[in-house]
Structure 1
Amino acid sequence: MATTDELLLAFQLFDAANKQDPNTEIFDGTTYPKEMLYGIRMTERLNEFAPNASEALILTARCQHICRWEITRESYTMNREGYLKWRHDLKKFHARKASSILQEVGYNQDTIDKVCFLLEKKQLKKNDQTQTLEDVICLVFLEYYFEPFALKHPVDKTIEILKKTWRKMSAKGQEAALKLPLSKYVSELIFKALSQ
């Protein structure tokens, strides 16, 4: 898809919002605001995984975690119910934040509605675009975030997380996951998860 002025401006505003993230991550010797780096990784992976993605999907990938640090996990009860409520509230929050920026850029309501639909992960496994977004989220998680998580948790828990992640992905996503540049440790965990 050809890059439009609106798309570039939306990216700039999404990144400017995520630049405010007080949490940082060092990658290749450079320190980044965590959610800004996440947005860039989502865009890069989407470009590789689905080069013909729609403009709505391209926008959604970049703002998928917009200002996530503003609603902390710790502000909810630390059980499954609290976790699910946090996730639900985050989706609504991201949709509101993204809508406000997209309106400022001048996108029409149809595009904004499509981005909100995707941010809220509606019709997963039934809608191709929602599924592509979920595949990209899982691929970015496996490539950049799973190993640090796995090193802090018991093996059975990490294997359960892998099984859940795998179930969320399409066959195309699973195939792409097996080609990621993963460490030997993560590759072994995936092998264990898939053989159970």
Structure 2
Amino acid sequence: MPTSAFDQTIQELDALHAGDPRHIEQDGESIPRELWHAQQMSAWLGRLKDSPDELLRIAVRGQHLQRWQVSRDEYGEGRQGYLHWRRDQGKRAGETTAALMRDAGYSDEDAECVARMIRKEGLGRGEAAAQAVEDCACLVFLENYFADFSRKVDHDHMVRIVQKTWGKMSDQARELALGLPMAPEARSIVEEALAS
């Protein structure tokens, strides 16, 4: 049975994700970290949207593509360095995902639409698809990385990070985030951030 353009694109994305040399243990199985992250993104999209279209599903799956290849350390320290690194990562992930889509048979228009979602163009200007990608990324961070991250970062800085993250999320994503199980220390940081 022939593979659809959507299935081919997802398979190709996951093959690239599987190249991540870093692994995590899940249910006794070693999984490439980026492949696991992409699966978490897709799972959150399923909770946020009843029937997300193919293009949004591809954008969410490709949002974190091959991030391990460009170290954050290659950019300057501080917020500006981080923002440049993140912008370049989004551009690269968008270009790679769009190329995979074209190879699978998608139109240039659809491929560029997904690349814009991955770059989160229109975020904060009512672009629903970019908001959905951002919501998934924020929820994956809060659910899976926040507790460890909060132990490594200065308390006041962590409060500001939560405030910035919260500000980028939709009301629906915020409601889902408040329902996440959190260690008391992490919950305390969130409560402080939201009270300020």
TM-score category, normalised to shorter length: over 0.9
Match of 1:58 in 2: 57
Question: 1:117 offset after TM fit, Å?
Answer: 0.9
C-alpha distance in structure 1 between counterparts of 2:38 and 2:136, whole Å:
11
C-alpha distance in structure 1 between counterparts of 2:80 and 2:127, whole Å:
26
C-alpha distance in structure 2 between counterparts of 1:20 and 1:70, whole Å:
10
TM-score by length of structure 2 reads 0.93
* Total equivalences in the alignment: 193
Q: Which residue identity is paired with 2:183?
A: S
Please, which moves more after superposition, 24-33 or 66-75? 24-33
TM-score by length of structure 1 reads 0.93
Q: Which residue identity is paired with 2:187?
A: S
Taking only aligned residues, the RMSD between alpha carbons, in angstroms, comes to: 1.4
Structure 2: unaligned runs, 5 residues or longer: none
Structure 1: unaligned runs, 5 residues or longer: none
Percent sequence identity over aligned pairs: 32
Match of 2:80 in 1: 81
Question: 1:124 aligns to what SS in structure 2?
Answer: coil
Q: Check conservation: 2:20, 2:33, Cα contact below 8 A.
A: yes
Question: 1:52 aligns to what SS in structure 2?
Answer: coil
Question: 1:49 offset after TM fit, Å?
Answer: 1.2
How big is each residue's C-alpha offset from its partner over 1:63-106, in whole Å with a ceiling of 9 and x where there is no partner?
11111111111111223322222111111111111112111211
Alignment of 1:107 onto 2:86? no
Match of 1:92 in 2: 91
How big is each residue's C-alpha offset from its partner over 1:137-189, in whole Å with a ceiling of 9 and x where there is no partner?
11111001111111112221211110110000111111111112333332222
Match of 2:11 in 1: 12
C-alpha distance in structure 2 between counterparts of 1:150 and 1:180, whole Å:
16
